[in-house]
Amino acid sequence: VRQAGKGVCQICIQLAQEDTDGRLPRAVAAEPQLNCRTPAEQRVYQAGSGWLAVLTTWINVTKCFVGAASFELPRAFSDAGTVGAIVGVCLLAVLSSFSLRRLAHCCELMPRNLASRSGSPFTYYQIGQEAFGRFGAATALFGVVAMTLGVCGSYIVFVCTTMAEVTGMRREVWLVLTMAAIVPLSWMRHLRIVAITSFFGIVALLTAVISVTLDAAEQQPPQPIGNMTKFDPEHYPMFLGNAGFLYLISTAVLPLYQDMDVQSAPHFAATFNSSIVFVTLLNLAFGLFAWYAYGSCSSDSDVRCVDGNVIGNLSVGPVKTAVQLLLSVDLLFTTIVFLYPFNEALERQLLKPQHGGTGGGGGAAGGDGGEGMVS
């Protein structure tokens, strides 16, 4: 840790000698994490283990990608066709990897003098303000708030509705219980701690996927593989909307990158891409197989077909109940990850830090207790 601290000091001295306009030199700007955190935070995060930061980042990124959208893919694939689905999902994965990693890199392009005064990592609000002034700041803040309300709101509604169906209790009761679980979990200060809940969320989702796959394997496919639609241009836009939701993690990617320590940050691209590859292959295999097993839908046929949400194809019983419970757990933990950037922006605007980062694990002025109150 002492050696790492000396390394950070040498980097700061080098930047001070080479920089005259308050911005990172081009040669140094490519180095990750030198500008995304204050020197105090860099020293704290240097103490972290590189492999642990990579693992927790992979878990959190994967948790953001996987969720309820996976269970709507079989029907979406039937709208696109086999070739259309495979090409479309792979193209979305490539574009998402390119754009989301560039989005995370924005914190490296911020003026260093702002980083020295900041008490916590840069938020989208600050980056938008630096890029386009007040308009950029307002637009970035609106985007974060709108996406957080849309994504987290839909997850909470799904959890409450599903649990009310399973238990017979009123949705209002489950809303209170869900919020009682989400509020304290949203107080967690670092995403490395959130990785613990994200891990259980991934396990819950994989268990639900396996349960549906086993049920699909017991079905008699209503059509041969060769008769499955190859490409359906009429319904392809509907497919793109459902499939695109898989990679909708733009508000979470910046804090996920900033949570990596200096040693592990250079591996962010490999960590991020490996997660995308895993999620893409998992969803392609699951979606195509469930579509094949449950069959395509047509208006002139009474034959059973894949439901809009494949859980609807499960027979009423313990398997369907277990899948619903597991998916609710998964979405509950996913909500925590997506709330994190919203909490950061809200804290920055309402608490207005008056000094730099704390020497301990606080990171932002106002301390953990302040963020807990705001959250």
Residue 34 lies in a domain: no
Residue 369 lies in a domain: no
pLDDT, tens digit only, all 375 positions of the chain: 444 444 444 444 444 444 444 444 333 333 444 456 544 444 344 444 567 778 888 998 998 888 878 888 888 898 888 899 999 999 999 999 999 999 888 888 888 777 645 556 788 888 898 999 999 989 988 988 888 888 888 889 989 999 998 898 999 999 999 999 988 888 876 677 778 888 888 888 888 889 888 888 888 777 777 778 888 888 888 888 888 888 888 888 888 888 787 777 888 899 999 999 999 999 999 999 988 888 777 645 555 677 778 888 888 888 888 888 988 888 888 888 888 777 776 776 676 544 443 333 333 333 333 333 333
Residue 270 lies in a domain: yes
Residue 37 lies in a domain: no
Q: Is 21 exposed, middle or buried (0-12, 13-18, 19+ CB in 10 A)?
A: exposed
Tokens 């974060």 appear where?
Answer: 144
Closest CA to 312 of 329, 290, 281: 290
What is the three-state SS of the chain? CHHHHHHHHHHHHHHHHHCCCCCCCHHHHCCCCCCCCCHHHHHHHHCCCHHHHHHHHHHHHHHHHCCHHHHHHHHHHHHHCHHHHHHHHHHHHHHHHHHHHHHHHHHHHCCHHHHHHCCCCCCHHHHHHHHHHHHHHHHHHHHHHHHHHHHHHHHHHHHHHHHHHHHCCCHHHHHHHHHHHHHHHCCCCCHHHHHHHHHHHHHHHHHHHHHHHHHHHCCCCCCCHHHCCCCCCCCHHHHHHHHHHHHCCHHHHHHHHHCCCCCCHHHHHHHHHHHHHHHHHHHHHHHHHHHHHHCCCCCCCCCCCCCCCHHHHCCCCHHHHHHHHHHHHHHHHHHHHHHHHHHHHHHHHHHCCCCCCCCCCCCCCCHHHHHHHHC
Domain count, the chain: 1
pLDDT value, residue 24: 40
Closest CA to 104 of 314, 298, 266: 266
Residue 71: give the domain boundaries. 51-296+310-351
Closest CA to 62 of 185, 186, 199: 199
**Average of per-residue pLDDT values in the chain:** 76
pLDDT value, residue 221: 76
Instruction: Tell me the C-alpha to C-alpha distance, in Å, between residue 136 and each of 113, 121, 141.
Output: 20, 18, 8
What is the tens place of the pLDDT at every residue in 320-344? 888 889 888 888 888 888 887 777 7
Read off the pTM: 0.74
Residue 372 lies in a domain: no
Residue 94 has which token pair? 């490539």
Residue 30 lies in a domain: no
pLDDT value, residue 304: 65
Residue 70 lies in a domain: yes
pLDDT value, residue 348: 67
Residue 64 lies in a domain: yes
pLDDT value, residue 90: 94
Instruction: Tell me the C-alpha to C-alpha distance, in Å, between residue 306 and each of 72, 83, 291.
Output: 10, 18, 6
Closest CA to 159 of 320, 334, 7: 334
